[in-house]
Chains A and B, each alone.
Chain A
Amino acid sequence: MPPEFARAAWLVARKDLAIEFRTKSAFYSALVFSLLAIVVFYFAWDPTAVASVDLAPGVLWVIFIFSGLLGLNRSFGMELADRALDALLVAPVPREAIFAGKALANLLFVMGVQLLVVPAVFLVYNLAFGVELLVVLGLALVAAIGLVAVGTLFSAMVSNTRLAELLLPMLALPFFVPIVLAAAQTSSRVIAGRPVAESLPWLQMLVAFDIVFVSACTLAFPYTLED
């Protein structure tokens, strides 16, 4: 990656994060939403009937997906105010760099939420705080890369339609199916104390997904902008 590209991307990411952390409203909303979801799931699935080791991975990844969508929705939504996107587009940087910056900001947003939510799930479901927690957080990072790549692109596409909040999940969720499957399968094995090597095919698929969709979405992004 050429240094100017990385610098431009980092600038865009920093701008988004600065806007976010001035008010922190979206971050807190996503966080509180996730914690509420943990509570709701706890009572929706009877923990006396199903072992918490079996419940936790499902809870983890459902929350991961939906809190991620919350963050992704505003990624381009906030550029609509005062047509800020136009100003961003006249900046003398490659459009791929704008995409990379937007995606990076979303990645940090999603991971920031996960850093607090994953331990909370471990806490509430009485899972062992050990190396499993670190493995699940690492898994969340690998899963989040593919998630934000696809999600950022779709956020750009739907942001100026009248159905944005509804359309983003509709378009993105089919793409999240392989991510959730791989992450849930791997983490349920890890939490059950089985070796990571057992989930190797899933991890390989997850990494392949990241590589393919980060490249494809970066290349596709310029087509989602007005000329």
Chain B
Amino acid sequence: MHWLSVVAGAAVVATFVRAMFFTPLEAMQGAAQKIFYVHAPAAWVAFMAFGLVAVASALYLWLKDERLDRFAESSAEAGVVFTTVVMITGPIWGRPVWGTWWTWDARLTLTLILWFIYLGYLVLRGVIEDRAMQARFCAVLGILGAMLIPFIHLSVYLFRTLHPRPIVMKPEAPSLPNEMLVTLLLAFGTFTLLYVAFLRARYAIATQRDRLAAEGR
């Protein structure tokens, strides 16, 4: 195993040990709030990963460098993994705290649709055999997907404000006590590190696959 994966894995475990045992319980939510330290950093990493897919895709169409495509491929896959974590931890947290598994809140809907876009992206990668075509198609989808996000955001925001819904109770980051804030920032850092480790591992696989395909001919 690569040293980066080991470090990232150890850092995430350390963060959770701190979150579970050395960070105070939240007064209103109790132990349920602990999932915050998984949910929020995973969401941050997912959005960052998809943003980087769009950047790498645009650069790929311009420079036609295969490494950029492999980067986009790896980042999209890591992003889907982290979005899945968000989609799983969200309802688990929402049920005890909001009283519902799911609500059509703007941010929830946006994340759900983002998840669908990049699941489609991964399927598209899987069904196109020609490597260059796969790279170009996915780059186009990666860019269009990023362009769609403001529209989804705007429409779910309009949808929500025109139909008032119960105010969503959510802990605000700046109002956190110091110990919680440190744990949260630590979680953001370690999750980003985990993303980099995933990216490196996935990128290595993509490189070897492409090399094998080139030698096989």
CA distance in complex: A163, B158 (Å): 35
Residues of A in contact, count (CB < 8 Å): 31
Closest Cβ neighbor of A182 among chain B residues: B155
Contact B152 A167 (CB under 8 A): no
Contact A174 B117 (CB under 8 A): yes
B136-158 toward A: CB 8 Å interface, digit per residue (1/0)?
A: 11011101110110011011101
Contact B144 A217 (CB under 8 A): yes
A52 beta carbon closer than 8 Å to chain B: no
CA distance in complex: A170, B123 (Å): 9
Interface of A is mostly: helix
B162 beta carbon closer than 8 Å to chain A: yes
Closest Cβ neighbor of B129 among chain A residues: A161
CA distance in complex: A2, B154 (Å): 34
B159 beta carbon closer than 8 Å to chain A: yes
**What residues on A are CB-neighbors of B61 within 8 Å?**
223
Contact B140 A220 (CB under 8 A): yes
Q: A167-B124, A173-B116 are in contact. Are A178 and B140 (CB under 8 A)?
A: no
Contact B147 A216 (CB under 8 A): yes
Report B96 CB to chain A, min CB distance, Å: 29
Report B163 CB to chain A, min CB distance, Å: 9
Contact B140 A223 (CB under 8 A): yes
Contact B152 A171 (CB under 8 A): no
Contact A205 B116 (CB under 8 A): no
20 further contact pairs, Cβ within 8 A, besides A175-B144, A209-B151? A157-B140, A158-B127, A162-B127, A163-B127, A170-B116, A170-B120, A170-B123, A171-B124, A174-B152, A185-B159, A201-B158, A212-B147, A213-B147, A216-B147, A217-B144, A220-B143, A223-B61, A223-B136, A223-B137, A224-B136
